[in-house]
Amino acid sequence: MSSATIARMTDDASSDNSRLLATTTPRALGAYYTPPAAASVLAGWVVESGARTVLEPSMGDGVFLAAVAQAAAAGGRRIESWGVELAADTFAATVAAGPLEPGRAIRGDFLGLEPFPVDAVIGNPPFVRLRHVPPAEARRAARAAAAVLGAPMDPSGSSWMPFVLHASRFLRPGGSLAFVLPYELTYVRYARPLWRFLADSFARLRLVRVRERLFPEIMQDVVLLFAAGSGGTTGAIEFEAYDRVRDLDLGRPDRTASIPVELVVVGRRPFVEALLPPALQAVLAGRLAGATVPASELVRFNVGYVTGDKGFFHPREAVVRRFRLPASRLLPSLTSSRQLRGAGVRTSGLPPAATGHRLYLPDATALAPGERAYLAEGEATGIAGRYKCRVREPWFVTPGVRTPAVVLPVFADAPVLLENDAGYVASNSLLCGYLQPGLTAGSLLARWYTSLTLLQIELEVHALGGGVRVFVPSEAGAVRLAARVVESGRLTARTDALVRAGEIARAYELGDEPVLIRQLRLSPAEIELIREGTTILGRWRNGSRAGRPLGLAA
Ligand SMILES: C[S@@+](CC[C@H](N)C(=O)[O-])C[C@H]1O[C@@H](n2cnc3c(N)ncnc32)[C@H](O)[C@@H]1O
């Protein structure tokens, strides 16, 4: 690194990088390189925007710098490019390969780099949770984000966000940003202040999603963010969805929409809804908006209990006998969604082989001698020192254990909602639902098993990079269900038989005629539209992989 470039770094940034590099791995650095096809789309846009100076804040092997040089050369122009890289070996290899002049290559932490003016910033920053980056780097990231936002960034967030915020400080008035960013940018709570900032700082925002995976090997879903006209403001995001990178290259989007920034800032999921056919969007926003309510108005979902040590707190029969643990302190429990297979829609239908798990929940004020011995063993073997145990008082009483009215698996594509008529308690592999006063579990089941619920789940519940859906209470509570429904014992019995047989997709369709058509007055054509919408969103969630059959747990 030249002395000129060292002078650009703050003291804190340059002092500890060598120690950091010795202990970091490609994963910790978020070192996943962008395919050239995607890099050239962003580079083409930057060059067309008229940029004459460009900065790549985390250049890796320099794919963006090469793409910028190529796009500029194609237009008979020359662009002055700067590149920053934290990893010493990557830096050296990239500088040697020559996509930029060595004098404009900066080795160090971009988040500690003093801003200097450029027309555009382009790149694919690292996506690493701040809690997983080394402390000094995390502190710099937090400082960089707060300096732009004027308030601390949510520490649960990821490193790409300070990169975008800090990058904005380098832009001349009218300048642009072009970044590959994680798809979660479109819905996570921690990114909401970023959207507000972008809307208040750029004249034009464009977000591109491509169904084909750009990073198949790491199952990372990404979007492309283009922000132009630094110093301006806007209230809307131009959203474009493409099936393949080739379509993006050819400028042939599947769908386009103008999305109010405000919807993203208040936590809605407009980028998902925009993928649906307009006729279906109209049904959802029209008749269905009035005839449905969020599930949270009917049932309150919580994550099940966390013991801190599954084995110790779910003792096997031999252990129960050896320590004479009292039966009254052993609560029949559901600890995995696998237990629900074959049960139908009621926990009383659990196959006998799935019923043996019991949570040991001692009464701290009345411990039997055998219990004292068992807990002493827990202390001797270090269970009491486990994080979840040592932060509670006393360490051996699992908090928040309450028998739910219904249960729902946390990881599932088309989750089976079960009435908990057998009174199990449930661990955090499941969501526990507690009914609002006056509601029966049967009427909740009648509302749940329709094609509309599958569509609502696609709209409201997020998925991990590989497409596996994760139910969290707030998102499960946002799934809209029929506001009113007439329960039918016959319908529940037929749903139960289908779920028991593993015919989950058919179980969800069973409610369409009695609930959606006869009670909500939807037409058969609208039901078709709803099913088609679910298929479309499922394809987007699964990227370019083949669709998986609906199942209990992913
Ligand atoms: C996701 S890779 C992207 C590389 C390149 N932009 C591309 O898309 O091919 C992120 C790069 O950022 C580097 N990096 C990680 N943290 C950094 C930091 N704080 N400052 C500068 N570079 C960093 C990593 O070493 C890695 O090369």
Q: Is 162 in the pocket of ligand 1 (CB under 6 A)?
A: no
Which runs of consecutive H residues, i.e. helices, occur in 286-393? 287-291, 310-313, 317-323, 369-380, 387-390
pLDDT at 31 over 70: no
**pLDDT value, residue 29:** 65
Residue 539: other Cβ atoms inside 10 A: 17
**pLDDT value, residue 114:** 97
Give mean pLDDT, residues 332-341: 94
> Any idea which residue has 């769908």 for tokens?
255
Burial of 284-320, coded b for 16+ CB within 10 Å and e otherwise, reads: beeebeebbeebeebbbbebbbebbbeebbbbeeeeb
In the reported structure, the alpha carbon of residue 5 is separated from the centroid of ligand 1 by a whole-number distance in angstroms of 18
Q: Is 163 in the pocket of ligand 1 (CB under 6 A)?
A: no
Nearest to 538 by CA among 458, 453, 456: 458
Atom of ligand 1 nearest to the CA of 110: 20
Give the model's confidence band at 216: pLDDT under 50 very low, under 70 low, under 90 confident, else very high: low
What is the sign, positive or negative, of the torsion defined by CA atoms of 429, 435, 436, 442? positive
Q: Is 90 in the pocket of ligand 1 (CB under 6 A)?
A: yes
| Gyration radius (Cα) of the chain, Å | 27
Q: Rounded distance, CA 19 to CA 22, Å?
A: 5
**pLDDT per residue as tens digits for the range 55-109:** 999 999 999 999 999 999 999 999 999 999 999 999 999 999 988 999 999 999 9
In the reported structure, the alpha carbon of residue 125 is separated from the centroid of ligand 1 by a whole-number distance in angstroms of 5
Atom of ligand 1 nearest to the CA of 123: 6
Q: Given the DSSP bridges, would you call strands 358-360 and 202-210 parallel, antiparallel or unpaired? A: unpaired
**pLDDT value, residue 545:** 52
Q: Which residue has the higher pLDDT, 139 or 221?
A: 139
Q: Rounded distance, CA 384 to CA 100, Å?
A: 56
**Got the DSSP string for 64-124?**
HHHHHHHHHHHTT---EEEEEES-HHHHHHHHHH-SS-GGGEEES-GGGBPP--EEEEEE-
Q: Which residue has the higher pLDDT, 314 or 351?
A: 314
> Any idea which residue has 């990557």 for tokens?
90
The percent of residues in the chain predicted with pLDDT above 70, rounded, is: 92
Helix then strand then coil, in percent of the chain rounded to 5, is 45, 20, 35
Which of the listed residues 15, 55, 58 should we mutate to test ligand 1's pocket, taking the one with most ligand atoms within 8 A of CB? Answer: 58
The percent of residues in the chain predicted with pLDDT above 90, rounded, is: 83
Q: Rounded distance, CA 511 to CA 452, Å?
A: 9
pLDDT at 369 over 90: yes
Structure tokens at 78: 């020359």
CB 178 within 8 A of CB 63: no
Q: Is 31 in the pocket of ligand 1 (CB under 6 A)?
A: yes
3-class state of residue 149 by DSSP: helix
Sorted by sequence, the CB contacts under 8 Å of residue 346 that are 6+ apart come out as 418, 419, 420, 421, 422, 496
In the reported structure, the alpha carbon of residue 173 is separated from the centroid of ligand 1 by a whole-number distance in angstroms of 26
